[in-house]
Amino acid sequence: MPADRPDDVVRLGHRPLIVSDVDEVVLEFLTPFKLFLESRRHRLLPRSFRLTGNIVDLQNGEAASEAAVKALLDAFYAAQEQWQIPAALVVKTLAELSAEADIVFLTAMPPRHAAVRRALLDALGLPYPLFASEEPKGPLVERLHGARKLPVVFIDDILRNLHSVRDYAPSCLLINLMANAEFRALAPVPDIGIHTVADWADAARLIRAHFGRSTASC
């Protein structure tokens, strides 16, 4: 059974906390999903920053319905270990950061797929605690971090998730990272206070600087 709360998954040490999304941040999502769609006679077109309306059925040229997109996503998640690979530099970067901070993965996917994702992350050398939920991420990060007077970082590719965490954990360093450059160019421009990075090397520099500033202010 999946846990109902992120603090059921992990007990934090007295260290900074890094909370990261998984799809398009830790694991490539859009590139493998495009290949998966091709295997199902569909194609993802880079017309706007969304899936519904941009997935086309190759048999009739029509955009897949919202229900069809949901079914395709569900099938992809069920077979994710056959398609998804780590984002560039993530395995090495998180291994190094884990010496300084606790790391938790907060993935926005149906919890029924969490066991498959857990096995995939472990096989790829990403053994950090995983919590799967389709709820807003802000309350989950707040619940996990609590009132601790320690640095906290949140990394995601979707602005609404970064906004949610900003509302509930205002001291959090917010990082916008997206592996797929083609769709990243279609994404909305982040607000002031949300830091956009090109890759995990850039993210690590920001994170370590945040840890240093937060420690100095304590």
* H, E, C per residue of the chain: CCCCCHHHCCCCCCCCEEEECCECCCECCHHHHHHHHHHCCEEECCCCCCCCCCEEECCCCCECCHHHHHHHHHHHHHCHHHCCCECCCHHHHHHHHCCCCEEEEEECCCHHHHHHHHHHHHHCCCCCCEEECCCCHHHHHHHHHCCCCCCEEEEECCHHHHHHHHHHCCCCEEEEECCCHHHHCCCCCCCCCEEEECCHHHHHHHHHHHHHHHHHHC
**pTM confidence score:** 0.93
| Residues linked to residue 104 through DSSP beta bridges, in sequence order | 19
**pLDDT tens column, 93-102:** 999 999 999 9
Q: What is the largest CA-CA distance in the chain?
A: 61
> What is the average pLDDT score of the chain?
93
pLDDT category at 36 given cuts 50, 70, 90 is very high
**pLDDT tens column, 180-209:** 999 999 999 999 999 999 999 999 999 999
Give the span between the Cα atoms of 80 and 120, in whole angstroms. Answer: 8
pLDDT category at 218 given cuts 50, 70, 90 is very low
Question: Do the Cβ atoms of 125 and 150 come closer than 8 Å?
Answer: no
Give the span between the Cα atoms of 54 and 108, in whole angstroms. Answer: 20
Give the span between the Cα atoms of 177 and 200, in whole angstroms. Answer: 8
pLDDT of residue 12: 87
- For 33, 118, 165, 206, the CA distances from 65, given in Å and listed in that order, are 17, 30, 30, 40
**pLDDT tens column, 130-166:** 999 999 999 999 999 988 999 999 999 999 999 999 9
pLDDT of residue 1: 33
Question: Do the Cβ atoms of 146 and 10 come closer than 8 Å?
Answer: no
